Amino acid sequence: MSALIKVDHLTRIFDVSKPWLNRVIERLPKALLTAVSDVSFEIEENSVYALVGESGSGKSTIGKIVVGLVPPSKGAVEVEGVDLATETDAAKVEAVRADIQMIFQDPYASLNPRWRVRDIIAEPVAAKGGDTKGLAERLLEQVGLSAKDADKYPHEFSGGQRQRICIARALASGPKIIVCDEPTSALDVSVQAQVLNLMSDLREELGLTYLFISHDLTVVHHMADKIGVLYLGRLVEEAPRDTLFDDPKHPYTRMLFDAAPRMDAFGREVEPPKGEIPDAINPPTGCAFHPRCPLAVERCSRERPEMRQIGQTRVACHLAE
């Protein structure tokens, strides 16, 4: 299968400094936050690639860079062979942008409360001057709602129904790629299952490719073909879903699995994760995980581990074997 998205040595740094005058008076240096640090991966056509990690690991930033909402500081993201940040041919960029849509985390904040559902869903097509007649009604039925809902406003729907409207809006322009930024985290568990099953069905039906961003390992296990694990903006492990769940190589991945709730482990005693996530403005030297790692040796604090292949897994750990 061909790679639809190629992320190559991607880095994104945000300037989070105080205003210039405050810095002069208080004699403070600039504060630079590295949200994404040297991340590389590929997403194959008609597959689901999941990014998992704790809050602040850079998952959403990568999603926003892929759809073109945030430019990279270094590195490149190629979608269908086009780098949206550097491509000078406007027609090429426009064609690729039409193939990408995003489902945002909060179904309450991502819908305009003043617009009817019909206008919200049809907007991606109307913005390009396309024919929107009957489009919203057809898409509403495709995502399990009623065509009559097109005349309603967002406040008349529950959270799960709003997320279905967000999915319908994402499908309106006929995209190939959908970036899903924690699409079910704001929903009840029973509603989560309905939305995830709907997304799986649509992927089969329409041949979609998903970049699926989540912190919930049970959701990822249900949805993903391949999983990338992020820690403090760095990709520390990547493997096919079953390989990762059966044999995680990185100590951080094992820590995530140990901390996750499991149906077959009621009453088990689990060591809580040690330490706090380091400050992204002043990250540790060497391996970012070494202050919390039970296996860390002196080399870990000195030398940043490179991604290397062990079987089907790519892992950034000096002691992965």
Average of per-residue pLDDT across 79-90 = 87
Render pLDDT for 11-38 as a digit per residue (tens, 0 to 9): 999 999 999 999 999 999 999 999 999 9
Average of per-residue pLDDT across 156-164 = 89
Asked whether residue 194 carries a pLDDT value surpassing 70, the answer given is yes
CB-based contacts of 309: which residues, under 8 Å, 6+ apart? none
Confidence of residue 86 (pLDDT cuts 50, 70, 90): confident
Strands (E), the chain: 3-15, 32-44, 48-52, 74-79, 82-83, 100-103, 177-181, 209-214, 226-231, 234-240, 308-310, 313-315
**CA atoms of 120 and 113, how far apart (whole Å):** 10
Asked whether residue 164 carries a pLDDT value surpassing 80, the answer given is yes
Confidence of residue 39 (pLDDT cuts 50, 70, 90): very high
Asked whether residue 193 carries a pLDDT value surpassing 60, the answer given is yes
What are the angstrom distances between the C-alpha of 243 and each of 72, 237, 246, 295, 310? Answer: 31, 11, 5, 22, 11
Render pLDDT for 209-246 as a digit per residue (tens, 0 to 9): 999 999 888 889 889 999 999 999 999 999 999 999 99
Rounded to 10 degrees, the C-alpha dihedral 291/292/296/302 comes to -30
Render pLDDT for 275-300 as a digit per residue (tens, 0 to 9): 677 888 888 899 999 988 888 889 99
Would you state the pLDDT for residue 26?
A: 92
Would you state the pLDDT for residue 267?
A: 62
Instruction: Say if CB 63 and CB 213 are below 8 A apart.
Output: yes
Query: What ranges do the domains of the chain cover?
Result: 3-99+175-250
Percent of the chain with pLDDT strictly greater than 70: 95
CATH topology of domain 3-99+175-250: Rossmann fold (3.40.50)
Average of per-residue pLDDT across 55-72 = 91
Would you state the pLDDT for residue 21?
A: 94
Q: Higher pLDDT residue, 263 or 112?
A: 112
Confidence of residue 127 (pLDDT cuts 50, 70, 90): confident
Render pLDDT for 167-189 as a digit per residue (tens, 0 to 9): 999 999 889 999 999 888 877 88
Asked whether residue 256 carries a pLDDT value surpassing 90, the answer given is no
Rounded to 10 degrees, the C-alpha dihedral 220/223/224/228 comes to -30
Q: What integer best gives the mean pLDDT of the chain?
A: 88
* Intra-chain end-to-end CA distance of the chain, in Å: 29
Confidence of residue 262 (pLDDT cuts 50, 70, 90): low
Kindly calculate the radius of gyration of the chain based on its CA atoms and give it in whole angstroms.
21
